[in-house]
Amino acid sequence: MIVRNATKDDADAISTIWAPQILDSVVTFNSVVKTPGDVAVMIETRPCFMVADVGGAVVGFATYDQFRGGIGYQHTMEHTIILEPAAQGQGAGRALMRAVIDHARARQVHALWAGVSAENAAGVAFHAKLGFEHVATLPQVGRKFDRWMDLVLMQKRL
């Protein structure tokens, strides 16, 4: 497996990996599928967008962008990481996050944030193992599948 910068040619694969997470899981509160066009724009405009590649096939991705708008937040980023279910537990997530963290450090990012659904215990545990600290739980701020969901905010200072 290699971790590399994403290209627009990866947009179809990334969209395919992301769609079931959006439609069928609580990994994200979003319920609108990202099209390959949406993904291509993200690849072009975000400061970091990486993929895990196994034998030429994309099995996951990680990206970050500014946490909030405005110059005061220019050193604080929020990331997203999504893997194909078959790639989970195989080291791709850790490799992607190491690459994202290294990229952020090299660009003088001070803090990296994760917003994790409280129902995603594996996601919370994954981030804790990487040194992200649980900073807050925001009760009932997300809505999906006709119910309110809590959001866990986790931070890693770089």
Residue at 129 is within a domain: no
Backbone φ/ψ region at 115: left (φ over 0), alpha (ψ -120 to 50), beta: beta
Looking at the structure of the chain, the number of domains it has is 1
Q: How far apart are CA 46 and CA 61, in angstroms?
A: 13
Residue at 141 is within a domain: no
Residue at 118 is within a domain: no
Q: What is the pLDDT of residue 95?
A: 97
Containing domain of residue 69, as a range? 2-112
The CATH number that applies at residue 55 is 3.40.630.30
Q: How far apart are CA 117 and CA 138, in angstroms?
A: 10
Q: How many CB atoms lie within 10 A of CB 3?
A: 19
Residue at 73 is within a domain: yes
Residue at 158 is within a domain: no
**pLDDT tens for each residue of the chain, 158 residues long:** 999 999 999 999 999 999 999 999 999 999 999 999 999 999 999 999 999 999 999 999 999 999 999 999 999 999 999 999 999 999 999 999 999 999 999 999 999 999 999 999 999 999 999 999 999 999 999 999 999 999 999 999 99
Q: What is the pLDDT of residue 121?
A: 96
Q: pTM for the complete prediction?
A: 0.95
Residue at 46 is within a domain: yes
Residue at 29 is within a domain: yes
CB 64 within 8 A of CB 79: yes
Residue at 136 is within a domain: no
Q: Per-residue DSSP letters for 37-100?
A: HHHHHHHHHSSEEEEEEETTEEEEEEEEEESSSSGGGTTEEEEEEEE-GGGTTTTHHHHHHHHH
